[in-house]
Amino acid sequence: MKRFYALFFVMTFIVFSTARSQTVAVKSNLLYDATSTVNLGLEFGLSQKWTLEFPVNYNPWDFGENRKLKHWMIQPEVRHWFCQKFNGHFVGLHGHIGGYNLGGVGLIGLKDFRYEGSFYGAGFSYGYHWILNSRLSLEATIGLGYALLDYTKFKCEKCAEKIKDNTKNYLGPTKAGVSLIYIIR
């Protein structure tokens, strides 16, 4: 968790030092909200067609009976807008780092086992931003990329013995979002 805080403060410093009174967007990803994940994103205008997004996600909840989707993730992304920043189509390059403790949930491979570990990687994204009024917007984005997963596998019971440590390379979807946005000028 100390790495999370250190990285968060370094990235916050970088983001705020590059913002220089440009347009700033505050966002919440509604897809993460649906999974009870606390999330907040900030996006800073860097120039007419470039922005830097910095979302942070955290899910500390247990769902009872040893079911959990605990995780944290930071996924900074630099974006190029085809028209102008915060309007229309964009492509992005994102990195991601996080940690997780998942298990006991009826998703693929999570019913009988618990996985605890960390990940990092990068990917590309595409999205579209709809302006609703002068302050509110809606955005949809999807991303594909790579992640290196480092984890320990356990039986799903409480205090279960470790089954194995493993590392896995993942290639596939790394980002999905439908975000509600408030623009600060």
What stretch of H or E contains 43? strand 38-45
Residues in the chain: 185
Instruction: Give all domains of the chain, ordered by start, each with its CATH number.
Output: 2-184 (2.40.160.20)
- Return the CA Rg of the chain: 18
Buried b (16+ CB within 10 A) or exposed e, 91-120: ebebbbbbbbbbbbeeeeebeeebbbbbbe
For the record, the structure tokens of 26 come out as 């505050």
pTM confidence score: 0.84
Residue type, 13: F
Place of tokens 């993942």: 170
Could you read off the pLDDT tens digit of each residue along the chain, which spans 185 residues? 555 556 556 556 555 555 454 689 999 999 999 989 999 999 999 999 999 999 999 999 888 877 888 999 999 999 999 999 999 999 999 999 999 999 888 776 688 888 999 999 999 999 999 999 999 999 999 999 999 999 999 887 777 788 899 999 999 999 999 999 999 97
- Cα(14)–Cα(42) distance, integer angstroms: 12
